[in-house]
Amino acid sequence: MRPGHDSASASHAGRNVAAGEPYAARAFGSSRRDLDLDLADPDRPAVVTRALAACLSGFDGATDAETIIWEWSVAERLQALLAVAVATGDALQLQTRCLRDDCRTEMEIGLDLRSFAADPDHDPVPCTLDGRELVLRLPRGSDQRHWRDTGGDVEALALRLIESIDGTAPAPGWQVPADWIDGLDAALAERDPLTVLELQPVCPGCGHANTVAFDLEGWILHLLAGQQRRLIDQVHALAAAYHWSEADICALPPWRRGAYLARLAREEPR
């Protein structure tokens, strides 16, 4: 069982449950706050939570944004991350090879992130195992955090997600049968296919239809890391030339930073 990966438009950036209004996403790399994020932190659920808190607006000021985001479903968190990626505007190019041993042709897959945008499903997930009727709730960010804190205990995670068995909540001390895990995992994956995503590119060399596992969340974080490196490079170049502070440079609109960098490039000796 996976709690989502250990891991659009702004309208898919998550919804204010109380008001029914969408949160708005901004481009990553457009704020000094983005330089404070350690995108290499191996605790991916925490990285996603911090990135979303930094790039989404519209939260109730009385509640900490990260506290709210931890309780979003994994699907809702991924849609919010998609909204940030779309606002950022980076294209996604996946490099892979044909899986046939006698081919191995290099393939480049261009993906439109907008094609993955969808309204996350919030309904419980029914599942039948060993003749028992189960109802599961969708995993949340807080479940991912608990899963990491327990060393990847899949039975403990499954127990958190099972709301009822034959219409009754699991009894205290009840343990999830080990042979139920695959069935529970399959039921959740069917409801949220983007969490366990597979692409099927056709090889241009031999025509073989490949099946390639694709970590959408991981690739978006990779794109954000590239934007962060670009922002650091821009700060370095402008600070060296004009002796401005990091805060002043990051406060400039991206188009003005670009204009100054272009001016510097024209002045470089040829």
Cβ atoms of residues 81 and 222 within 8 Å: no
Alpha carbon of 56 to those of 24, 49, 189, 206: distances in Å? 5, 11, 27, 44
**Domain end point (choices 169, 191, 213):** 191
Between 3-12, 81-90, 96-105, 218-227, the lowest mean confidence (pLDDT) is in 3-12
Q: What is the dihedral of CA 194, 196, 202, 206, to 10 degrees?
A: 170
Range of the domain at 167: 125-191
Domain count, the chain: 2
Retrieve residue 135's tokens.
Answer: 């109802």
Residues 211, 163 share a domain: no
Q: In this structure, are 186 and 196 located in the same domain?
A: no
Q: Point out the domain boundary residue: 191, 225, 248.
A: 191
pTM of the model: 0.85
Q: What are the pLDDT digits (tens) for 20-60?
A: 456 789 999 888 899 999 999 999 999 999 999 999 988 87
DSSP string, 155-204: HHHHHHHEEEETTBPPPTT----GGGHHHHHHHHHHH-TTTTEEE-PBPT
**Tens of pLDDT, residues 144-190:** 999 999 898 999 999 999 999 999 999 999 999 999 999 999 999 88
- pLDDT tens track for 56-114: 988 876 568 999 999 999 999 999 999 999 999 866 788 889 999 999 999 988 888 88
Residue 206, pLDDT > 50, answer: yes
40 neighbors 225 (Cβ within 8 angstroms):
yes
Domain boundary among 171, 191, 211: 191
Q: Are residues 103 and 218 in the same domain?
A: yes
- Per-residue pLDDT of 186-203, as tens digits, reads 999 888 888 778 888 899
Confidence (pLDDT) at 161: 96
Are residues 92 and 146 both part of a single domain? no
Largest CA distance in the chain: 77
**Which residue stretches of 33-125 are H helix?**
44-55, 65-70, 74-88
